[in-house]
Structure 1
Amino acid sequence: MSNYIDIGAITDIPIRAARLVKTMHGCIAVFRTATDKVYALDDKCPHKGGPLSNGIQHDESITCPLHNWVFDLNTGMAKGADEGSVRTYDIKLDNGRILINRDAIARAEAAE
């Protein structure tokens, strides 16, 4: 059994946009960049709980729509003077399908 869950086609997510994967302990935002890279982060900004999936994506960063905190899509770390981070998830592309690591989701849920 694969450790990855197929969550959809990359074409299901518009360029520079996000879609949500709902789990028992919150939503994971799955981002598609202009160069068709995919990233997965917790959808909730640690500052004020803003939905990162509604933020503005630029290169490999996302800006929270509530208070402009900027997060690195690779690491989940806030950039600049802001402090904080969001959890990232192991995600990959395979023949145009987005796959997310089921073990990473389970670990995140266990940590809640």
Structure 2
Amino acid sequence: MSADPSVQVALVSAGGAVTAALVGVLVELVRRQGRVMGEVRDHVANTHTTNLRDDLDRVVEGMSRVLEGQAHHTEELAHLRREVAHERVERLAVAERLDEHLTRSAPLN
């Protein structure tokens, strides 16, 4: 069964219009994607002579050294705290002995 020629022309015209619209949408999507990719490239591309991966590796290595140093300082602080606590105990013991000696030597009347 064959359609009327005017219907055929209308269908071909409508199909062409839909195809043109789809191509236009696809072209715009590709343009937008190109702009976005350019922005992404601008954010991650190096503008200097060193490689970004090498730069990151140096940063990670530096952070490792900082953390090692922090652990060492934490140990030193713990040691100092123990020493201060020991000195405090000894000072209180001497003060107690001095009080006892003074009490025995000069009793209060």
TM-score, length basis structure 1: 0.16
Which one has the bigger strand percentage?
A: 1
Q: Which has the higher contact order (CA 8 A, sep 6+)?
A: 1
Q: Which has the larger radius of gyration?
A: 2
Question: Would you tell me which structure has more helix in proportion to its own residues?
Answer: 2
